[in-house]
A and B are shown apart, each in its own frame.
Chain A
Amino acid sequence: MLRLQARGQPSRFWAWASPVLALALTALFSGALFAAMGRPPVLTVSTFLISPLFAPEGLSALAVKAAPLVMMGVGLSLAYRANIWNIGTEGQFTLGAIAAAGLALALPDAPMGLIVPLMMIGGTLAGALYALIVAGLRTRFNANEILTSLMLAYIAHYLLIYLVTGPWRDPEGFGFPQTAMFSDAAAGPRLIEGSNLHLGLIAAPVVALIAALVLGRTVLGFQFRVLGQAPRAARFAGFDENRLVWLAMAISGGLAGLAGMFEVTGTQGQLTPASAPGYGFTAIIVAFLGRLNPAGVLPAGLLLALTYLGGDAAQMRLGMSNAITFIFQGILLFCLLGCDVLILHRVKWR
């Protein structure tokens, strides 16, 4: 019989070894799943996890996909540390993308020095305000933030559909549901001339660094951690829980909005129904895999970015649906949560 014995102290070794073990188990389980579906397991898993890295420009594609995931994962780490369950980042990402697109379409002739900062502010504000609806509903009306933030994500999705099929549809777009292409200035400066490496690739690690400092070195970060680990202690210490909820939602929502802005302007160049392809949900896995720690979110974001490239590779080379991305992500999260038992427990057979 499997028995769990409490360690008393969380194991620091397993806190970081668990994701590695989980990744190995994920490769094993997904291989078994593909074998059961009549697919060659080793080829499928290696096409998925390894081939994208060696594709031409594979690494820059990885960085471009990782940037929004890292940005959102950092915001979620702060919120989840405080036990504030914002799971509607997809919606806040969408709102950031919509705000940025609106500015880019309204000011097609603005110079880069004006339009890019404007869109960064607009995208961040839109994401933050959308998240603050959730904060308001929780602090004022006691409504569960998991459900409200998720419902708002569905609403944001339909708002996006409405805009690209209705008022913002490109009149010269042959009826496709998409906006006109943004100006070159709106795409922002490129880190390497001619590449698609946009400003968000610098912003993401900077955000992670700032968040690490806030969480580890400030009173605010301390309050977040106490609220999450010992809510009663936080209350006795006189921390204003409502204020922390507002802040956590504003930060995680604002970062999601910023990520959406970079994605739609720096990578996509126009708003389409596919402008928000589930990055907000993937960022939840990024946050957990990164141990709710901004430093850990960086490698976690790169790994989850790989699952998107892997899905595309499996689609192109093996003719599989790119839904395989989400299967892999789901199994990874299962394995991670299972392996995390080792942080607080020793497992014994008896």
Chain B
Amino acid sequence: MIALLLSVLAAATPLLLAATGELVVERVAVLNLGVEGMMLMGAIAGFAVAHETGSLPLALAAAIGAGMALSLVFAVLTLTLQANQTATGLALTIFGRGFSALVGAGYVGISAPTLPKLLGIDPMVPLALVILAVVAWFLARTHAGLILRAIGDQHDAAHVLGYKVIRIRYLAVLFGGAMAGLAGAYMSLAYTPLWAQDMIAGRGWVALALVTFAAWRPFWLLVGAWLFGLIMYLSLYVQAIGVPIPSALLSALPYLGTVIVLVLISRDGRRIRLHRPAMLGRPFHPAG
């Protein structure tokens, strides 16, 4: 029972880390679909640096830096140059897949130092919860969080009040990149401590779905991440105990689960509209 709980928590952690970052990004009304690409960059950067230097702090810093670097490209294109956010996010994922595969070609099948466990628990598991709690507190209880939400709901008014819409959006996008990079590092240094091409396997997209599932509310993100962690764990568990279902079909289960959950959650359009940042995905042109 404890083992099950820990497995679910571990499977939920990369989703939770990435989704917490994306939640902040979407709360300032920016839609970055490049989470998958940023996670891959974080995974390979963390793994490569851990292997080359043996230093885990450096590896984590590299992973965060890689995620932020890619998110900076997104920010320059969409916030400064007003490019289409959907297309730019896709470009991030295409680039991240290619770049991580090229750099990672030399790291397949070798090992790197892994994150140490405390009392059988990966320190990243509680860390993800702490970050989520801080983000929840920041959004709900601080002045800066209020400004952030105001920009997401009415950027023109926030601009007129003198808040730096573009600058704050840059910071939020960079935070999202850092979290995605960290989530990637958790994958390659703790969850499956190896590098394999495309090892994120759609988790970035699941994290995006989670933000919608949670209707942009931090607490529900936690519920969603655990639910998906459970689905992912079950598809592995059912294979392990030898249920006669082909493994390829079981591997499709988490994706099917995501579709079903999305459908259930989106049925109530009013609830989505009520919570969605009103300016989500819309570009902001400062007048003058």
Contact = CB atoms under 8 A, between A and B. Distances in A.
Contacts of A144: 212, 262, 266
Contact of A321 (B91, B102, B266): B102
A166 B101 contact: no
B98 A154 contact: no
Interface in A295-350: 320-321, 323-331, 333-334, 337-338, 340-341, 344-345
Given A143-B262, A158-B249, A284-B90, A334 B77 contact: yes
B95 A330 contact: yes
B94 A333 contact: yes
A85 interface: yes
9 contacts: A146-B33, A158-B252, A326-B98, A330-B37, A331-B95, A333-B90, A334-B77, A337-B77, A337-B87
B259 A158 contact: no
B77 A323 contact: no
A147 interface: yes
Interface string B250-275: 01100110110011001101001000
Contacts of A148: 259, 262-263
Most chain A beta-carbon contacts within 10 A, residue among B33, B88, B98: B98
B263 A327 contact: no
A321 B108 CA distance: 12
B86 A85 contact: yes
Contacts of A2: 80
Nearest to B268: A142
Interface residues of B, number: 49
Contacts of A329: 94-95, 98
A185 interface: no
Interface of B: 33, 37, 73, 76-77, 80-84, 86-88, 90-92, 94-99, 101-103, 105, 197, 201-202, 205, 208-209, 212, 246, 248-249, 251-252, 255-256, 258-259, 262-263, 266-267, 269, 272, 285
Interface residues of A, number: 48
Contacts of A337: 77, 81, 83-84, 87-88, 91
Interface string A247-289: 0000000000000000000000000000000000100110010
B86 to A, nearest CB: 6
A222 interface: no
Contact of A334 (B73, B80, B102, B201): B73
Contacts, number: 144
B95 A334 contact: yes
Contacts of A323: 97-99, 101-102, 105, 197
B252 A143 contact: no
Contacts of A146: 33, 86
Nearest to A85: B86
B262 to A, nearest CB: 5
A154 B102 contact: no
A62 B144 CA distance: 54
Contacts of B92: 330
B263 A137 contact: yes
A161 B91 contact: no
